[in-house]
């Protein structure tokens, strides 16, 4: 298994042309409990691209790829959802807003229950204008650890993808307010941008995104350990 994982990461590092391949230091995340939260799901599609790409599907595919990288590196991975569903009660009778709050609260509760070391929520961005593009990481403004994680992941997104100059930024989100561990929200790109929608629906690009996120997580732990 270790040989297979090394081969997978070697191929991934060749694909991204990494100047500094953090995958060789992936032991830094061994036994870390990392919760991956693929945003939306079920009756909630999230953003919808002009060509019909659904955010909930993109989020789940990237999250699955990321879970594979992290798990094979020795991390304990927990996903808030693994299929096309949300976490609200199936027979929920309240408003859509109330259903969404229950869904988000249960995602955060799942991370609390497993005593996660890190919470990563994967999303796609959208805007009324099609001009905007680029992956970006957001973090809770009151958490210094979350800021460091966000910066590390953002740096790797910029380096590996080569198509975003965005910076990690503080922002207040319901779900990160409900978690006690370091947490970040990842907007992997804009479905409202036709070119980026095409990329986000592409399996190879999804793998690059997942690898960049993985590399950023490893980078953070390596720097925290002073290695």
Q: What is the pLDDT of residues 56-95, one digit of tens each?
A: 999 999 999 999 999 999 999 999 999 999 999 988 889 9
Query: Is residue 55 within 8 Å of 47, Cβ to Cβ?
Result: yes
Residue 74 lies in a domain: yes
Residue 20 lies in a domain: no
The pLDDT of residue 4 is above 60: no
Residue 69 lies in a domain: yes
The structure tokens 């270790």 sit at: 2
Tallying the residues shown for the chain, one arrives at 227
CA distances from 16 to 29, 57, 95, 156, 205 (A): 21, 23, 44, 10, 10
- Give the pLDDT confidence score for residue 183 in this predicted structure: 98
Q: How far apart are CA 199 and CA 193, in angstroms?
A: 10
Residue 182 lies in a domain: yes
Average of pLDDT values for 42-59?
98
Residue 177 lies in a domain: yes
Domain that holds residue 61: 28-225
Q: What is the pLDDT of residues 135-173, one digit of tens each?
A: 999 999 999 999 999 999 999 999 999 999 999 999 999
The structure tokens 């569903």 sit at: 85
User: How many CB atoms within 10 Å of residue 9?
Assistant: 21
Instruction: Find all residues with CB under 8 Å of 152, minimum gap 6, and list them.
Output: 216, 217, 219, 220, 223
Residue 2 lies in a domain: no
Total domain count for the chain?
1
Q: How far is CA 200 from its chain centroid?
A: 13
Of 18-32, 45-59, 75-89, the one with minimum mean pLDDT is 18-32
Query: Is residue 149 within 8 Å of 68, Cβ to Cβ?
Result: no
- pTM of model > 0.95: no
Domain harbouring 171, CATH code: 3.40.630.40
Residue 108 lies in a domain: yes
């Amino acid at each position: 298994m270790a040989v297979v994982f090394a081969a997978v990461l070697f191929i991934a590092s060749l694909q991204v042309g990494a100047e500094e391949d953090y995958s060789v230091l992936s032991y830094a995340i061994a036994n870390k409990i990392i919760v991956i939260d693929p945003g939306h799901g079920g009756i909630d599609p999230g953003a919808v691209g002009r060509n019909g790409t659904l955010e909930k599907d993109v989020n789940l595919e990237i999250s699955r790829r990321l879970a594979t990288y992290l798990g094979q590196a020795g991390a304990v991975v927990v996903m808030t959802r693994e299929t096309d569903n949300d976490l609200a009660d199936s027979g929920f009778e309240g408003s859509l807003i109330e259903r969404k709050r229950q869904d988000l609260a249960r995602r955060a509760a799942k991370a609390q229950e497993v005593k996660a070391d890190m919470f990563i929520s994967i999303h796609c961005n959208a805007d009324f204008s099609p001009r905007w593009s680029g992956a970006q990481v957001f973090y809770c403004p009151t958490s210094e650890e979350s800021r460091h994680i966000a910066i590390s992941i953002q740096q790797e997104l910029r380096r590996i993808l080569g198509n975003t100059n965005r910076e990690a930024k503080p922002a207040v989100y319901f779900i990160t307010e409900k978690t006690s561990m370091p947490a970040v929200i990842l907007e992997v790109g804009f479905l409202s941008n036709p070119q980026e929608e095409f990329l986000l629906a592409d399996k190879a690009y999804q793998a690059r995104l997942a690898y960049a996120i993985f590399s950023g997580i490893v980078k953070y732990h390596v720097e925290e350990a002073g290695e």
